[in-house]
Structure 1
């Protein structure tokens, strides 16, 4: 996934249904009204939709918000950076993925056909 793909749940869902446990997202999220809130909300939503970890690298600079994050499968931010260059680190646990998928078997209980990516 890259940048704008975050706004469309089908890409993340298709990857999770194909076996992904961690989704990486390099992005240049452009500054603007409410963009930081959209960024954090969409990252948490995609992690929760897919029960995957999200690793999002946000480009810093005058035009972009930065704010790299690592989100766990329940949508909880476990590491975050500000709007400046930074290194963020978090441990990713297979057990956490399994636990969340047992509590929320979203991928197994889908009622609709998997998304077809164009």
Structure 2
């Protein structure tokens, strides 16, 4: 049985690759900027409500994620229109997948053999996620 849920929220636009690096005593130190920390906290809070009772393990998975971004005030965008501006789809899923691994959705996100990532403008913003065993 697939795991399927919708999280109504304004999706964060900060993505995992926004991590920064500083040099301390001649060594690189990686850190998350404040907007990435806020995105991590927001996604953790929302995803934490949907952890499946049984962790996915040993079976290939398909994960469908639909990112529904709020229509900007005064824009000509319409509900359901494809969003063709940043953030890029290939960057959007890294942070939530890492969080889902930490929360216990699956043993390892390497189990995800198929991803469908879509982004739209929407009257009701949020993130829709469906996890299916293949």
TM-score, normalised to structure 2's length?
A: 0.32
- TM score, norm. by length of structure 1: 0.34
Higher strand share: 2
Tell me which protein shows more helix as a share of its residues: 1
**The structure with more radius of gyration:** 2
